[in-house]
Structure 1
C-alpha cells in the first residue's frame, strides 16, 4: 500500500491481501449469532432500524460499516481493515467479511483495489477551504461531530458535547412561557412575523445590551434562528469567493464549514490566554488583508479564555488600521460570572466596526433557536434585507416564548444557578484530568469548556470512543487546517462519568 494513503482510524493494518476472497465459508450456526459492537447503542434519537437478532452476520457487518461511513468515522480514501483482521476482531469467518465488503461496494460505500484492499469511496463532494499560510488546502468536514452530538442521548458519555445536559436546564421556564402564550388569542400566531423580528423582544434585548454598555436601538437589532443563521447572513452580505476570513485557531468548527461553503479562504489566528496572538495577527493582516474576523471575546470556544482590555484596544486599533470588520460572537455571555475579567469589543466600539451576535441556546434550550445581531443602523437594514431573501421572517412564536422567559423574572436566577454548578464541575473536571497527566490551556476560569493537551492524536481517541458509545471532541475539528492535534475539548458538565474517565485513561496509556 502507498504509505501516504490514509487507513481507517483506530484499526491497524495486519497485512495486504484484503481485496482477495480469503477464508472458507462460515461455520455452522454462525449466521444465528450477533456481532459484538454491531451498531452504536440504540437511543431515542437513533433507534436500531432492524433488531440485530433478525439480521444475519453479513447484514450486521454491512450495517456496522455503513453507519460508520455515513457518520465520517471511516472517511473517504481510508483503507478498511483487512479481511483477516476484521474476521479475527469480530470472531467471524473471512467469508462473512468478504460478502459484507462486496455488498458495500455494490451500495457505493467502498471500492476494491486489486492487491491493496477495500477503500472508502468519496460519495458526496466535500467543501474545500483554504488553510492558513504555510499549509496546504484541506477538506473541511465537521459532520462527524455534529451528527454524533445530535445522536447522543447520554450526556454522561459525551464530554465532547456542545450543550449543557437537559437536567442542568430549567424546562419549566419554557413550559411556563408556552402556557402563557396559550392563554392569548390564537390570531396572534397566524401572522408571518416581521423581517427584523418580534419588536417587544428587540426592545428587551436593547435593555440587556445596555447592561453590557453596548448602545443599540431596536432598529439596530435583527432577530435570527440562532448564531448559525446570523453568520450565514453576514457571509452572504460581505463575502465573495476567494475573500479571506480570520478565524481562531482553535475556534468553533461549524463556522469553518459555513464560510468555506461561501468560497471564503479561512485563515487561522493563534490564541493566548488573553485572546488572539496580536503579533501573529498583524502579520496576517499585512500579508492577506482579510475582510472579516470572527471572535469569541468572552469565554472563547474551545479554550474558555476571555479577551483582556489591553488586547481589546489593540485589536480595535488593528481593525481600524487595516479596515477589518469584526464579528463578535458572544453566545456564552450569560455564562460569564459577574466580575469576571472580560472585555467586549462592541462595548468599546459601539457597533461602528463591530457586529455583535448573541443567543440563548446554551442557557435555555438548544432547539429554541433564537439569536440576534446588533449592528450599525445601515448594516442592520442590509442584514434584514438579506434575511428576507434567505428565508423571509424567523419564527415569531419562538421569539414570543423567549420574550416571556426574559420578562417573567426567573431567567437571571436560573443562569446564576447554572454558573455556580459549572464552577463546581469545572474544578472537579480540572483536578481529574490533571491527575490523568493532561495539560490545561492557561486562562480558563469560567464557562462550559476546558481545553486540554493529551499528548497524543485525539482523532484516534474519538474514533475508539465512538465504538464504545462515547462522544469526544478531538482538537483537529477546531482548527481551520484540520491537522492532527493532541488537544481535546471537555464539556465540564458531562465529564465526570467514572466509566468514561476509565476508558480515556486506557486510551492515554497507549503511547
Structure 2
C-alpha cells in the first residue's frame, strides 16, 4: 500500500525551533484529527518516512511510538503502523500537548491552570482579566452588604432556574440599549459565559458534529467542545471579522451546527465586526442552516460606534438564528460568576431546563449583587473608568512593544488586548517567562489546531511591572 501524499510532503523544519520528533507528532496528529488521514490508513514505513522527511530512522521510531501511546496509531506486528480509530471525546485533542511529557503543560489547561496561580496581577500579561486595582472591590462589597440586610430566608432557598427575575428585567433594559429586543422570558442566567457556551453546545451538538470558532479565538472553548466529542474548526479572523469566503467554503464542506464568534472586542485581537461582514455571516448561516452564538463578554469595554464601528449580529437578527451571550466577570469581578443567554422564548425554556438538570440553579446571591449594581446606576460609571484607564495605557504599551521589535497585528482604539507577532517561538518564550514568575499567553493556544506560533496575546492592563519589560527586552529586544 502506498503512503498518503499528505505525509510525503515536507512536514518538518529545522528552523522552526521545535524538535523533529515534536513536529512529526503534531503534524501527523493534526492530519488525523482533520480526517486527512482516515482510520485504517497505513502509514509509511519507518525507512520510507525517514527518507521522505530527511530525518533519522530513530526520530521516526520515537515519533511513531508517541503517536501509538496517545491513541493516534496502532502497531501491527509484521505489517507496520496504521491510523487508529479514535474515541469521539479524543477526536480533537491538541497535538501540541502530545509531543512529549514536557510539552504537555503548554496546552489550554496549562494557561488556565497558571491563571489561577497566586502570581501578582502585574506579572500576568497573558491573563484575560483586569488587575485587582483596576476594579472596584468596594462596589461589589456594598452589593453584598445590601443583600445581607434583606429577609434572610430569601437567601436560603434555591434560586429560580431561569434566573433572578429583577436581574433579567434589568438585562432587558441593557440589551435594549444595544438594539436587541429580549423579554425577561428570553433570558437565562448562567455561571459565567463558560457555562452559557457549554449549555448551548450540549443543546445543539452530538459527538461528531462540527462547531466553528474564530481563529484565533478564546482558547477554553476548544477543550470543552472536544470533551463533548465535537469537531472544532477555525475560521480565519481578519481585521473586520471572519474570512467570509472561507466561512462559506468550510460550511458547505462540514455542515456545522454552531459558529461561536466575538462580534465586538474580539479576543485576542480587540477588533470588531463590520456591518458588511455581519450581513454576510448571517446570510451564510441561513444558507447552510447553522446557529450563531455571539459571545459579547467584552461588550462594556467598547466605547460606542462614534469611536469604533461595531455591529452586533443579535441586533440584526433579533435572536432568531443568533444566540447572544454576556456577563460581568471581566468588568466587575472574576469571582462573580454571573452570565446570561438571550435567545428565542422556546430555546430559553429548553436551555433553562438543561441548566436545571445539570446544576439546578445558579447562585441568586451573585445575581442579586449584579442587579443592585446595575439598577442603582453605578455600573455605567464604573465601566467608563475602566475604558479611561485602558485608553491611558494603550498607546504607551503599543509603542514600547513595537520598540522591542514586535509587530502589533491590529491597532484598535479600544479593548484590553494586543495581538502581537514576536518573530520567535512564543511557547518557548512563555516557558522562560514562567521560570521567572511571569505568565505569557503563547499564540498557539488561541488556535484550534494548536500548531506552533510566533504570535502572543498581551493584556495592556497587566504591563506595568518593570520586570516584565526587562524580560521581554532581554529575550526579544
TM bucket (normalised to shorter chain) is 0.7 to 0.9
Q: How has the CA–CA distance of structure 1 residues 300 and 327 changed in structure 2, closer, same or farther, with 3 Å as cutoff?
A: same
Deviation per residue, 1:57-92 (Å, 9 max, x gap):
xxxxxxxxxxxxxxxxx9xx99xxxxxxxxxxxxxx
Report how far residue 128 of structure 1 moved.
3.3
Count residues in correspondence: 404
Pair 1:176 & 2:138 matched: no
| Deviation, structure 1 residue 321 | 0.9
Query: Which one of 386, 402, 405 corresponds to residue 434 of structure 1?
Result: 402
User: In structure 2, which of residues 434, 452, 465 is the aligned counterpart of residue 497 of structure 1?
Assistant: 465
- Report how far residue 502 of structure 1 moved: 1.5
- 1:455 and 2:423 equivalent? yes
Q: How far did residue 315 of structure 1 move?
A: 0.8
Structure 1 contact 273–443 (Cα < 8 Å) conserved: no
Where does 1:68-79 land on structure 2 (aligned, <5 Å)? none
Quote the Cα distance in structure 2 between the aligned partners of 1:286 and 1:274: 22
> After superposition, where does 1:392-403 map in structure 2 within 5 Å?
392-403=360-371
CA distance in 2, matches of 1:12, 1:507: 20
Aligned position for 2:216: 250
Structure possessing the higher radius of gyration over alpha carbons: 1
Shift of 1:443: 4.8
Matched, 1:331 2:293: no
Q: Check the 8 A contact 2:236/2:242 in 1, yes or no.
A: yes
Go from structure 1 to structure 2 and tell me whether the alpha carbon gap of 1:465 and 1:305 turns closer, same or farther (over 3 Å shift): same
Contact 2:143 2:369 in 1 (8 A): yes
Q: Deviation digits for residues 195-215 of structure 1, max 9, x if unmatched?
A: 101000000000000000000
For 2:172, the equivalent position in structure 1 comes to: 206
Deviation at 1:316, TM superposition (A): 0.6
Alignment pair present for 1:343 and 2:311? yes
The CA deviation at 1:348 is 0.3
Name which of 357, 368, 372 aligns with 2:325.
Answer: 357
The residue aligned with 2:4 is none
Quote the residue 1:23 is aligned against: none
Contact 2:189 2:340 survives alignment (8 Å): yes
Residues 268/370 of structure 1: CA separation in 2 closer, same or farther (3 Å cut): same
1:480 correspondence with 2:448: yes
Classify 1:272/1:184 alpha carbon distance in 2 versus 1 (closer, same or farther; 3 Å): same
Partner of 2:284: 318
Query: What residue is the counterpart of 2:439 in the other structure?
Result: 471
Residue 370 of structure 1 deviates from its aligned partner by 0.3
Separation in structure 1 between the aligned mates of residue 206 and residue 198 of structure 2, nearest angstrom: 13
RMSD of aligned C-alpha atoms?
3.2
Q: Which residue of 1 aligns with 2:237?
A: 271
**TM-fit CA distance, 1:158:** 1.1
Q: Give the match for residue 206 of structure 2.
A: 240
More helix per residue: 1 or 2?
2
Residue 270 (structure 2) pairs with residue 304 (structure 1): yes
What's the secondary structure of 1:321's corresponding residue?
helix
Cα drift, residue 12 of structure 1: 9.7
The question of whether the paired residues in 2 share the 8 Å contact of 1:297 and 1:306 is answered with: yes
**C-alpha separation between the residues in 2 aligned to 1:497 and 1:11?**
30
Matches of 1:361 and 1:506, distance apart in 2 = 34
Q: Write the distance in 2 (CA, Å) between the matches of 1:473 and 1:448.
A: 14
Q: Which of structure 1's runs of 4+ aligned residues deviate more than 2 A?
A: 9-13, 122-131, 135-141, 442-445
**Change in CA separation of 1:451 and 1:11 when aligned onto 2, cut-off 3 Å:** closer
Residue 11 and residue 270 in structure 1: after superposition, are their counterparts in 2 closer, same or farther (change >3 A)? closer
The equivalent of 1:445 in structure 2 is 413
The residue aligned with 1:128 is 90
Change (3 A) 1:137 1:452: closer
Matches of 1:126 and 1:359, distance apart in 2: 31
How far is the alpha carbon of 1:236 from its aligned partner?
A: 1.2
1:153 deviation in Å?
3.0
Which secondary structure state, in structure 2, belongs to the residue aligned with residue 317 of structure 1? helix
Question: Which piece of structure 1 moves more, 414-423 or 140-149?
Answer: 140-149
Judge which range, 351-360 or 401-410, deviates more: 401-410
Q: Distance in 1 between matches of 2:473 and 2:120?
A: 20
What is aligned with 2:30?
Answer: none
Residue equivalent to 2:77: none
Name stretches of at least 5 consecutive residues in structure 1 with no aligned partner: 14-73, 79-115
CA contact (8 A) 2:88 2:229 kept: no
1:496 deviation in Å?
Answer: 3.0
Instruction: Tell me if the contact between 2:88 and 2:208 (Cα under 8 Å) persists in the aligned partners.
Output: no
Q: Secondary structure at the match of 1:401?
A: helix
User: Residue 358 of structure 1: SS of its match in structure 2?
Assistant: strand
Q: 1:449 to 1:431 in 2, by over 3 A?
A: same
2:469 and 2:291 map into 1 onto residues whose CA distance is 42
Q: Deviations over 1:255-300 (max 9, x none)?
A: 1111111100011100110010111111111111111100000000
Local SS of the residue matching 1:355:
strand
**Alpha-carbon spacing, 1:291–1:11, altered in 2? closer, same or farther (3 Å):** closer
Paired with 1:137 and 1:293, the residues of 2 have a C-alpha distance of 24
Give TM-score, length-normalised by structure 2: 0.79
